[in-house]
A and B are shown apart, each in its own frame.
Chain A
Amino acid sequence: MNKSPDWTDPAVLESAAGLEDRLRALEHPPADPELAADWALRKELRRLKPEPLPAELADRWKHMLRPRGRGLHSAWGFAIAASLVLALSLTLLMPINEPEPDPTAIQDFRLAMQTVNTTSRKALSITGRELNEHLQWPSIELEPLPYSRLVRAIAQPQRINVETQDPMNDLQTNQE
């Protein structure tokens, strides 16, 4: 039997690589018995080549990953929803930059409100006096009540005699 080659020898390695290339290129077995046996074994191994993939198996593997494709769409949906939530949060949390009010405008506004307030009170007072001439207020016994004079002063404003400028009682009128 031949001695085993020294596989650490570069020359042997180069020779082995060359022999391998030669074996692959040969269409018929070589003359050397060892190489011929190698060549035959290679042919025998080639007969154990891969079978075509069964159709049902291929379909199963393709179908198995289709729901994972929807997973990718879910990921996009999640990303969009997260972006909307983030945008909404930023909108709510960020301080609103309102313009500072004009001091002159504030003064004018206050003056206007005071004018409306004063004018309204005057109008209410005049209206009350005018109506009081023509209305007969009910007689309310206020004396037993505490602070009766104060309540009377508010509830029954004083009527003045136009000629004498004296206060009139309930029974008098200016037409007498």
Chain B
Amino acid sequence: MQQPFEQMIDRYGSRLRHLALMLLGRGDEADDVVQDTLIKLWHRGDDVRRDDALPWLLTCTRNACLDRLRHRQRTQSLTLKLVGEQSVQADVQSTLNPDEAIDVQRRRGLLLAALAEMPEPGRSLLILRDMQELDVAQTAKTLELSRTQVKVYTFRARRLLRKKIEEELHEQVA
């Protein structure tokens, strides 16, 4: 199993780490969760079929993250953690002037803070569907939803996220 296992790390490791990071907001915790998930996969061995590997891995990672979140009180701003660690890909164009770069960073901070307050499964849906562009079938398997539910819930979650961001922006302006 060693060689296929290493291939799974190369193929899916970044997705798992990204999901854990988006849910937990801390790089070290995210790495711990992914490591535990990979160990579980190792022990499961051939019980996990190749075509089910990604949904299985994402499910394990997500469940572990949600468990940690339930036992953790959020005392720090999630936005500051994510922006400070620079773990999220910075899509700051080199052509932007410094003021624009600050606006983009600020906007990203607002986005991530609003995302952290989203209820499940909407938050996970936005991470998997919009950020990772996971297809409907695998998303449905991961979150144990129907394909229609995946589409409808994603649509609703995105609208809710937009509403939260707009409310926050209005508060800041006011």
- Which of the residues A16, A20, A42, A58 comes within 8 Å of B13, measured between beta carbons? A58
Q: Is the interface of A mostly helix, strand, loop or mixed?
A: helix
A 33-74 binary contact with B (CB < 8 Å = 1; else 0): 010011001101111111111000110011011101100000
Q: A7 an interface residue at 8 Å Cβ cutoff? A: yes
- Complex Cα distance, B92 from A119, in Å, reads 118
- A45:B131 contact, CB within 8 angstroms: yes
Number of A-B contacts (CB under 8 A): 100
CB distance from B35 to the nearest CB of A (A): 6
Query: Which residues does chain B contribute within 8 Å of A46, judged by CB atoms?
Result: 130-131, 133
Asked whether B155 lies within 8 Å of A58 as measured between CB atoms, the reply is no
Verify A17–B9 contact, CB threshold 8 A.
no
In the complex, what residues of B have CB within 8 A of residue A53's CB?
Answer: 9-10, 13-14, 17
The reply to whether the CB of A21 lies closer than 8 angstroms to some CB of chain B is: yes
A16–B156 touching, CB < 8 Å: yes
For residue B26, CB closer than 8 A to chain A, the reply is no
On whether the beta carbons of A61 and B35 are closer than 8 Å, the reply is: yes
Residues of B within 8 A of A66 (CB): 2
B residues contacting the other copy or chain, number (CB 8 A): 41
Q: Tell me if A41 and B162 are in contact (CB < 8 A).
A: yes
- How many Å from the CB of A36 to the closest CB on chain B? 11
Q: Is the CB of A21 within 8 A of B151?
A: yes
Question: Which among A44, A48, A61 has the greatest number of chain B C-beta atoms within 10 A?
Answer: A48
Binding-face segment, B49-57, B64-72, B73-81, B83-91: B83-91
A20–B2 CB distance below 8 A = no
Residues of A within 8 A of B112 (CB): 48
B101 within 8 A of A: no
The interface on chain A, measured as residues whose beta carbon lies within 8 A of the other chain's beta carbons, has a size of: 32
A46 vs B88: C-alpha distance when bound (angstroms): 11
Q: How many angstroms from the CA of A48 to the CA of B161 in the assembled complex? A: 15
The reply to whether A42 and B158 form a contact with Cβ atoms under 8 Å apart is: yes
Contact between A68 and B42, CB atoms less than 8 A apart: yes
**B15 interface residue (CB < 8 Å to A):** yes
Per the bound structure, the CA–CA distance linking A57 and B159 in Å amounts to 36
User: Is there contact, CB below 8 Å, between A50 and B42?
Assistant: no
Task: Decide: B14 and A51 in contact? CB cutoff 8 A.
Answer: yes
Using A17-B148, A20-B155, A50-B17 as known contacts, say yes or no to A41 and B131 having CB atoms under 8 A apart: no
Not counting A16-B151, A16-B152, A46-B130, a sample of 4 additional A-B residue pairs whose C-beta atoms are within 8 angstroms of each other reads A38-B158, A51-B89, A58-B9, A62-B9
Please report A residues at the B interface, Cβ cutoff 8 Å: 7, 13, 16-17, 19-21, 23, 34, 37-38, 41-42, 44-53, 57-58, 61-62, 64-66, 68-69
Closest 3 CB pairs of A and B: A50-B18, A45-B130, A17-B151
A-B contacts, 13 of them at CB < 8 A, read A7-B156, A13-B152, A16-B155, A17-B152, A20-B152, A34-B159, A41-B158, A41-B162, A50-B14, A51-B14, A51-B18, A53-B14, A62-B9
